[in-house]
Structure 1
Amino acid sequence: MDLRPVFFSVVIATAGLAGCNQSTDDTPHALSVDKEAAASSKDAATDQKAFVPPPQLDIPFHKEVLPNGLTVIVHEDRKAPVVSTNIWYKVGSKDEPKGKTGFAHLFEHLMFNGSENFPGEYFEPFQRSGATDMNGTTSNDRTNYFATVPKGALDMALWMESDRMGHFQGAITQEVLDEQRGVVKNEKRQGENAPYGKAFDIIAKSTFPADHPYSWTPIGSMEDLDNASLEDVKKWFADHYQPANATLVIAGDISVDEAMAKARKYFADIPSTKVQPRIKNWELPTQVKKREVVHDQVPQTRIYKVWNVPAIGSEEEHALELMTSLLANRKNSLLYRRLVRDEKVATSVSAFYYGRQLAGQLIIVVDVKPGQPVDKVEKLLDKELQQFAKNGVSPEELRRVKQGEFASLVKGLEKTGGFGGKSDILARSEFYYDDPGALLKGVEEYAKVSAREVQDVAEQWLKDDSYTLIIQPQQQFTAAAEGADRSKLPEVDKNVELELPKQQNFTLKNGLRVVLAERHDTPVVLMNLQFRSGASADKSKPGLASVAAQMLNEGAGNLDSLEFSARAEELGVSIGGGSGLDYNSISMSALKSQLKPSLELFSKVVTEPRFPESDLERVKSNRLDAIAQEKAQPQGLALRELPPLLFGNEHPYGAPLTGSGTPEGIKSITREDLVNFQNTWVRPDNATLTIVGDVTEKEIEPLLNETLGGWKAPKEELPQIDVAKVARPEKARVYLLDRPGAQQSFIMAGLVMPPWQPQGAEAFDAMANTIAGKFTSRVNMNLREDKHWSYGARAVSMDTEGQRPYILFAPVQTDKTAPAIKELIKEYQEYLTNRPITEKELEDYRNDEVLKQSARFQTKGQLLSSINWQVEKGLPEDYIADYPQRVAALNKEQVESSAQEFLAPDQFTWVIVGDLEKIKGEVEALDIGPVEVLPAKDQ
């Protein structure tokens, strides 16, 4: 459950209601009327250049307040047979009294522990009912819970959600409190154990007065968590979790009348007592003129600059948000150009407006390139900010930024649930603006923001008075009478009616195969050109394929990198390269109205990438810094070390699973290597183009022939990639990596599995999911819920052409490293011997997988991804459609047989990252196999 602020720039998440088009004319009144008129005319012309017609968007809704105070918002969307629920409680960490920090977040966890009428794991009925996008989050301002379920499971979902609102207090026991307190403490350890993990705790304490509700973060303090009593927690629930303090959104395949009837049935009988006063206003804190330096286990220095600025809903909100995109987060942004591209003193730079209910913050983050003096970078950063405030921005660039934001908005309105889905937009609008339609209404005001208004906020807020935090590497871095029946959970309707668009296959005049699936709900077209290559084609230069994919954005045809980025922004198109173990891809997401020019730009990337030397050197340098970042993170370090131990250093799959390559490989890459890679693998006889979106075959085929038809396959025969077969070790092996002072150990274990094949695939997935593949799996329930040693333990099986890496991972508190390994082995051994999969586990898995198909194809991106996989595996079109029937037919014997065939815990290769002074002896004492300490590797 992610508690970090949402640090991405989406216009719908920050658009307000206040107009931002006020006059900013500072002309003295002594000017003549003619001069005033001329100046006004010039300003109007400049504003017009920055104006972008906002997209015509609408999320129709019905809003109603029940007699008990619960606000209910309903949106009907019949595109897919799913319904999303999203409930926002008006309580966050800002509402916590001193000495009880972390209560809001602790309670988020407690409410996933069942209720009076459904004791046990809250996730359980959802994970056998096809639920997706299910989670909960806590911020400074609010707590929310959301899920997307097949429409036949809506009664179950609303029963569960209402039960924990109205029938929860009796389910809070000392045992449950202790369990979830342990989970939260491990989450805090995990966050702080990551590089820069303490930054926002420090920033909160240093930028807000001690009595300000934002002076602590939602995770809270260990001391306050330890001191939380059962009485404290029950009072917190009584004070805050009641209908009059909540908003419920129901969005999806349901009518308003049906949704309101269900809302009344499940929620109307829950009483509201006295709701605590809501903190809505607080004087904006004064700017902090302060600079702090902290040393931590980080690979490079990071600079944070922070200004306290107005809150969400202020007149400056739009301009502040736009200013961050102009400063950073884009290739054409000022700070990226100056610090990363031109001066090459930083590897990355980001900026965001962190808007909240009581105050906002403007935050700029710069990763200093290793070897560069921090004071030099700070001075350059300050100089650029001063110049920006003085000179402003061109209306043309501001227009491009707006166009890009609007394109992202249009493309994001396909989902009803999850982060940024329509239910989230409606709830956020109601919470912050008391109007479910506020965020979309604000788009028109956003479109009108002028270059002058952006410069005004820069002049007002980008002052020398700011807070600066420098994090540097350590010197030695190593229930009622009426209403719902609470006696039993409603049955889930398991009938799933799913209509997938028919796939249309055709071939371009150059032989390129095209697969098209029409989806006309939003005016967007998604494309993916997939070709065999990937890391398995890197050979002696690990990282080549991924660098080749990354360099595709560095210019094409007659456009250099910045010109290419500017043109893409102007069209609202996203074009980029992707790289995996066996395939590379070039993808595009374009507006229907700009399809032809977007395809022209796409074709330049496919056929005319520039691979400029200067940009290559920058990309390589930044990649080396990124590798150093990976090595500073326990998970990244383990993912780098495990593959060669499983497959061998020379094997195509022996490169780091992070996809970043090795320092030696990256350093050796030349422009000629990239050109050869492109010429060798990017060819129409080695690729398939998959398209999903608002376009017909009749429309798209001539456009593709016009733009890509001239792309020809070379005469040379297509090379073959040899993925050799490797043997599993005869017995388990243990490799240790030292991370002195680590608060947690990161446990990872790998096992080589046979290649994927259709026969038995469903049985394998059922086996893998029930032992360690999902939240309610045996492994996670053991280490997280029963023992509270870990924030989460899972296993994944990677999808490859050759043998598949099966990877188990579990971050655990340091003193439980050896016991956790012992528990993991025990779970796998019991699964193979005396405690195989149960009928209930299998039934829950079957139900979940079958019902989950309702939401699997809700967005164009989801459909595109599925078709890509189907094409990659050479499967017929009906393979995807028939999947539910194959899963429903699974039996216990098939899953048990799959476990016996594939699982072998006594052949695991273990990689454990932690403080060896504290864990080495106990790990050796387990005697599960030879133990070797891996040497620390420099970049």
Structure 2
Amino acid sequence: FRPPRPSEPAQHAVRSLFQRDKNSRETRLHLAFHIPSVEGNDVNALDLAADILGARDSSRLVRVLKKEKGLVNSISSYSLTPKEPGLMLISATLDSKNLDAVAKGVMDELVKLAKEPPSEEELERAKVYIESQHVYARETVQGIARSIGNYHADLGDGNYEEKYLRLNRAVTPAQISEVVAKYLFPPNLTLTALIPETDQPVNEKQILSTAESYARRPAVSYEKTKTNGNVVLKTLPNGLRIVASQDESNPVVSVRVVHLGGKRFETKETEGIMNFIAQMINKGAGNLSEFEIARKIEDMGGRLTGFSGYDSFGISASFFSRYTDPGLELLALIHSQCSFPSEEMERERALIINRIRTEPDRPVPYALTILGKTLFKDNPYGFDKEGTLATVASFTRDDLLNTYKRYATPANTVISVVGDFDVEKTLKKIEELFGSIPGEKFVAPAVPKEAPLSKVREEIVKIPRAKAHISIGFLATTFSDPDRYPLEVLSNILSGQGGRLFLELRDKQSLAYSVASFVRPGLDPGMFAFYIACDVPKVQRAVEGLFQQIERIRSNPVSGDELEHSINNLVGNHLISLQSSWARAENTALNTLYGLGHDYDAEYIAKIKAVKSEDVLRVAKKYLDPTKCAIVKIMPDEVQQ
């Protein structure tokens, strides 16, 4: 028996907290408003209001405060409606000098939305976007189970999702303004800011006064209110390759346009340029602005982003299947006429530079970035994906445009399409849109080979953090090397909550908060790495413990049960990862691009299943040589020690 929780009383005054943090490098601002639970009558209108305000690139707060005024690095809004009364959250990262301006800017947008209802077009865009999140979630069994479980737990109706979407479709523009006016104004406001300790003092009273000046109505009570596809391959005359896989199980289509590139084709002078291109790819094309591109894709119930990794870069998109033709037309326009507009480029440059400067605020990826730099001294795999402060500051529009044109040629392009579409019609449409692009012979640049390690390389970096973060790396293998499969089994045996590292170093010896291993193959030999986070006094024992586990796996064959469990886990997780059309489109495109074949997944599973205990022992001895590795220790600075 669980006694009923007390109801949240009405909030009669704005609450605020401004806190300094020596570990932060940018300010985090949160504005929270009490709202009803999922059982309340206003939940649909509040969810749509959150979307209109800050859930998408074309949402109001993102457009005005980030893109037009440049006051924030990021901003979003979210409606949290659990079984108990919830919260509407508006969150931003920014420079602390902009706190008052951002608080005022947020409240100004709330005033506009409360006074003037959104247009039918803007509201329809929000409805389509929310519907798309539910539809895409149905592509995986986890998504379906999560929906049924959540709605059953909160409302006693596992099938409530369809009713929720019907109610969403019935919301009117006037209802949006009504709920904004009803819930999203002082005194029903809690404002908090986490500010870097090194920043100049901020006028807390002024910021609070600004927020309080928007008081509109008496406090509100928040009592709950009861209420497969066939695969077709085609190569166009210009060299562009297409892989189309039909799946009619869900009314969505996912597309990837991918090219060889990424960090592997960068130099010290161009470090980070591929990531810059990926961030700019949807910022303008032809006569379309960034906002117009975002609006078009949102009107299709979709999403569209650029990406860049170790070996490739390109465009990812999904949309409702009824918009297949206009979705492909938009992709073709971006692919062939991306404009890299100067104003958007300067804004993106500032955001990338801010991420580089604040990298130590994210110690886990930061530790692995430093590990890459320490392990790879010749090959570009050691570069920081974001680039350096110097390279990012130096890139011109022509640099991005010329690099993009060099690598986004038909002969270096694979397009994969996965989902509910007419294969013949879609192939014809792709050929019509992409087939006229002039075909030129693609010559890949020479990529420096990484020399084998001859000794241990160690790097110690000190940052303002309370914990230590240790990473150890070994040169590993490529996508196509047969050793890849036993290495992945080896990593699975070590990692995860049931793995040796977790059981020995965390559970038994209490040496770690977090510990893991992973293998990252590439077109060039990649990395096998270990990561552990621990208290500073335990660093030496934690490192010794990692090497003891490395020596154990190098010296003794794994048991049959351990091997079988690892193989089953790898195969199961791989199959689960391919449930959505988004994931399958990515996998198909990259496997084709890397020369593994569009149907490589079946081969991957077969080769994982064929791994023997002696294979694991052999690759452990071959690659995990403790005398030839890189060790990185991210340690607290002297003040914290």
Letter in 1 for 2:146: D
Bigger drift between 889-898 and 667-676 goes to 889-898
Residue of 463, 478, 490 corresponding to 1:755: 478
1:605 maps to 334
Structure with greater Cα Rg: 1
2:631 maps to 910
- Tell me if 1:722 matches 2:446: yes
Letter in 1 for 2:74: S
Deviations 1:79-131 (A, max 9, x none): xxxxxxxxxxxxxxxxxxxxxxxxxxxxxxxxxxxxxxxxxxxxxxxxxxxxx
1:392 maps to 117
In structure 2, C-alpha distance between the alignment counterparts of 1:344 and 1:628, rounded to whole Å: 18
Deviations 1:568-603 (A, max 9, x none): 111223222111111012122122211111111111
Aligned partners of 1:509 and 1:705 also within 8 Å: no
Deviations 1:409-460 (A, max 9, x none): 222211112xxx1111111111111111112211111111111111111111
1:311 maps to 37
Percent identity over paired residues: 23
Query: Cα distance, 1:916 vs. partner?
Result: 5.0
Query: Cα distance, 1:508 vs. partner?
Result: 2.8
2:54 maps to 328
Query: Cα distance, 1:606 vs. partner?
Result: 0.6
Query: Cα distance, 1:880 vs. partner?
Result: 3.0
1:132 maps to none
- Tell me if 1:522 matches 2:250: yes
Bigger drift between 899-908 and 576-585 goes to 899-908
Residue of 340, 348, 355 corresponding to 2:66: 340
In structure 2, C-alpha distance between the alignment counterparts of 1:374 and 1:295, rounded to whole Å: 14
In structure 2, C-alpha distance between the alignment counterparts of 1:618 and 1:476, rounded to whole Å: 22
1:264 maps to none
Query: Cα distance, 1:743 vs. partner?
Result: 3.1
In structure 2, C-alpha distance between the alignment counterparts of 1:815 and 1:512, rounded to whole Å: 56
In structure 2, C-alpha distance between the alignment counterparts of 1:380 and 1:698, rounded to whole Å: 50
- Tell me if 1:841 matches 2:567: no
Residue of 110, 117, 126 corresponding to 1:401: 126
Q: Number of paired residues? A: 611
Aligned partners of 2:492 and 2:570 also within 8 Å: no
2:622 maps to 901
Which ranges in structure 2 are unaligned for 5 or more consecutive residues? 201-227
In structure 2, C-alpha distance between the alignment counterparts of 1:389 and 1:791, rounded to whole Å: 46
Query: Cα distance, 1:294 vs. partner?
Result: 0.4
1:586 maps to 315
Residue of 425, 434, 441 corresponding to 2:156: 434
2:16 maps to 291
Deviations 1:863-900 (A, max 9, x none): 33332343133234564324444333332222211111
* Distance change >3 Å, CA 527–CA 339, structure 1 → 2: same
* Distance change >3 Å, CA 912–CA 285, structure 1 → 2: farther
Which ranges in structure 1 are unaligned for 5 or more consecutive residues? 1-275, 478-499, 921-939
Aligned partners of 1:739 and 1:916 also within 8 Å: yes
In structure 2, C-alpha distance between the alignment counterparts of 1:821 and 1:894, rounded to whole Å: 26
Aligned partners of 1:736 and 1:916 also within 8 Å: no
* Distance change >3 Å, CA 851–CA 456, structure 1 → 2: closer
Residue of 501, 507, 511 corresponding to 1:779: 501
* Distance change >3 Å, CA 519–CA 391, structure 1 → 2: same
In structure 2, C-alpha distance between the alignment counterparts of 1:853 and 1:664, rounded to whole Å: 39
Aligned partners of 2:265 and 2:447 also within 8 Å: no
Aligned partners of 2:243 and 2:589 also within 8 Å: no
Aligned partners of 1:523 and 1:591 also within 8 Å: yes
Instruction: Map 1:454-469; keep pairs closer than 5 Å.
Output: 454-465=176-187, 466-469=189-192
Residue of 214, 220, 239 corresponding to 1:511: 239
Query: Cα distance, 1:288 vs. partner?
Result: 4.3
1:662 maps to 388
In structure 1, C-alpha distance between the alignment counterparts of 2:639 and 2:31, rounded to whole Å: 37
* Distance change >3 Å, CA 542–CA 877, structure 1 → 2: closer
* Distance change >3 Å, CA 760–CA 910, structure 1 → 2: closer
Query: Cα distance, 1:514 vs. partner?
Result: 0.9
Query: Which TM-score applies when normalising by structure 1?
Result: 0.62
In structure 1, C-alpha distance between the alignment counterparts of 2:12 and 2:413, rounded to whole Å: 55
Deviations 1:691-711 (A, max 9, x none): 211224312121112222222
* Distance change >3 Å, CA 326–CA 876, structure 1 → 2: closer
In structure 2, C-alpha distance between the alignment counterparts of 1:877 and 1:603, rounded to whole Å: 22
Letter in 2 for 1:397: E
Aligned partners of 2:477 and 2:483 also within 8 Å: no
Query: Cα distance, 1:854 vs. partner?
Result: 5.3
1:14 maps to none
The SS at the match of 1:905 is coil
Aligned partners of 2:458 and 2:631 also within 8 Å: yes
Aligned partners of 2:81 and 2:87 also within 8 Å: yes
Instruction: Map 1:429-828; keep pairs closer than 5 Å.
Output: 429-465=151-187, 466-475=189-198, 501-539=229-267, 540-648=269-377, 651-656=379-384, 659-714=385-440, 717-740=441-464, 742-770=465-493, 772-828=494-550
In structure 2, C-alpha distance between the alignment counterparts of 1:909 and 1:537, rounded to whole Å: 23
Aligned partners of 1:784 and 1:791 also within 8 Å: yes
In structure 2, C-alpha distance between the alignment counterparts of 1:851 and 1:621, rounded to whole Å: 42
In structure 1, C-alpha distance between the alignment counterparts of 2:95 and 2:574, rounded to whole Å: 45
**Alpha-carbon RMSD:** 2.3
Letter in 2 for 1:531: H
Query: Cα distance, 1:399 vs. partner?
Result: 1.0
Query: Which TM-score applies when normalising by structure 2?
Result: 0.90
Structure 1 runs, 4 residues or longer, greater than 6 Å off = none
Letter in 2 for 1:868: A
* Distance change >3 Å, CA 847–CA 755, structure 1 → 2: closer
The SS at the match of 1:313 is coil
Aligned partners of 2:470 and 2:533 also within 8 Å: yes
In structure 2, C-alpha distance between the alignment counterparts of 1:744 and 1:285, rounded to whole Å: 40
In structure 2, C-alpha distance between the alignment counterparts of 1:601 and 1:393, rounded to whole Å: 26
The SS at the match of 2:178 is helix
The SS at the match of 1:722 is coil
1:349 maps to 75
In structure 2, C-alpha distance between the alignment counterparts of 1:527 and 1:732, rounded to whole Å: 43
Instruction: Map 1:414-429; keep pairs closer than 5 Å.
Output: 414-417=139-142, 421-429=143-151
Aligned partners of 1:818 and 1:919 also within 8 Å: no
Aligned partners of 2:297 and 2:319 also within 8 Å: no
* Distance change >3 Å, CA 365–CA 582, structure 1 → 2: same
